[in-house]
Chains A and B, each alone.
Chain A
Amino acid sequence: MREVLLKYTKDFTTSKPVFTLKVTNSEISINRAPLNKFKPTPIEGDTLSRLVCSCFSEDFSTGMGGFVISRDDIVKSAIFKVNREMLSFVERYSPLRNPRQGKLHKFMRKGLYDSRGDDLQDSIIMLYKYMVEKTVPESIPEVEKKQHVKNILVLLENLMEKYSEESK
């Protein structure tokens, strides 16, 4: 899945290093926002493309005199965003009275900073895609959304059981 996400960054370029200058009596400050900032355009209807584009970031290197991007870092940031959103999803929709104390929350929280196996991470990315496409759009009726939410929670619990057993 990392390769798939990486492909979405193929067309990413960088902003032109042109900035406005502000001069006061004691300071010359360079406005950090470039005049023509590069904004990646996501492929319409593609959730993963939208995800990767939302994680676009670039750094200015004074030594190199321009912006630089790290495609790997963008992908890492996208995966982190997926994990964070899924954790919030569990917090929001878990049937438990205190979801933060539940096993599922613990399982998802653990994956936020520890690296997961590729299989598990790929499954969570696919669930994220499912979640965004089926539980977020306003066009989908609430009753249907609730069913999708239940599905995702069940699938996450299954993943948790499978991968917890494997790790034992």
Chain B
Amino acid sequence: MSVFLDKKFEELDWISQAMEPIDSELNEYLSVLPDELDITFDLIVDMCKDHYSFNLSLIHIVPHLLRLHYGNKYKSTTWKQKMMLEKCFQFKSEGDSLIIDFENKSISGGKIKLVKIRSTMDEKDLEEYLGADGVMAIRGNYSYNQDCCSRMNEVMELLGSCENGLKSKSSRIKAHVISSRLKDIFKKNEWKIKDTTLANKIGYWIDDYIANNNLASLSNFCRLKVMTHKGQPIYSMEEVV
């Protein structure tokens, strides 16, 4: 039954297996970023070039730093991820009268620092984040049409408790029921998924199957569904590409 084996869970030490912490790539991102960073003139200019605003907020600087520190391995972060990472940092300034001089390319009157205030993501935040991006992928896809309805019905039967969606003929209502049911599953931790990347993939698989009739995505979703019957926490699964 190696198809349904959760390798990541097997590799965890016994304390982790007992505690069942939520694993997330956000913790990996966080560990790469420095605990303290001087905000220099060049960094401010570099950031201001990227967007129109004259203000530099955490939500802009954190992905920028990830790109710098993570190099090619860095995949773009979603808005939700940015918002979560933002909570782990703060700007701190020394000096009351800070002045930026574009002519002399300098900051005077004090120093500005970016300080990491949390070294790991909060478990409660991660619980809320489970599957959120995947749910958004379904909710934000407006290309579902009547041809997708039969596939949507299949997904709803797999998800269970989707009677309203099955009765309806509207693809929009069906999509709404699917995304709400998925959100509910993660909220109540029905499937015991403990990895944010895996949890997010579920929504993307469902979306891919409904919109593009991709059978590999359906297969992945079904495998995961089978794994949930064991009642054990799920950290990983073997995917079909």
How far is it, in angstroms, between the C-alpha of A17 and the C-alpha of B92 when the chains are bound? Answer: 24
Q: How far is the CB of B93 from chain A (nearest CB, A)?
A: 4
For A21, what are the chain B residues with a Cβ–Cβ distance below 8 Å? 98-100, 107, 112
State the Cβ distance, B118 to closest chain A Cβ, in Å: 13
Name the segment of B30-38, B43-51, B166-174 touching the other chain.
B43-51
Q: Mark B91-104, 1 if CB is under 8 A from A, else 0.
A: 11100011111110
Contact count A vs B, C-beta below 8 Å: 69
Do A65 and B102 have beta carbons less than 8 Å apart? yes
B102 → A minimal CB distance (Å): 4
Question: Bound complex: CA of A23 vs CA of B97, how far in Å?
Answer: 10
Q: Is A19 interfacial (CB-CB < 8 Å)?
A: yes
How far does the alpha carbon of A29 sit from the alpha carbon of B45 in the complex, in Å?
12
**B102 and A18 contact, CB distance less than 8 A:** yes
Cβ–Cβ contact A30 & B49, under 8 A: no
| B57 contacts the other chain (CB 8 A) | yes
**Contact across chains for B103 and A20 when beta carbons are under 8 A apart:** no
Chain A min CB distance to B87 (Å) = 10
With CB as the reference atom, state the residue of chain A lying closest to B55. A29
Pick the contact of B91: A24, A30, A62 (CB < 8 A).
A24
With A21-B107, A32-B54, A62-B48: A26-B90 Cβ-Cβ less than 8 Å: yes
Q: Inside 8 A of B102's CB, which chain A residues have their CB?
A: 17-19, 65-66
Residues of A within 8 A of B137 (CB): none
Interface residues of B (CB under 8 A from A): 39, 44-45, 48-49, 54-58, 86, 90-93, 97-103, 105, 107, 112
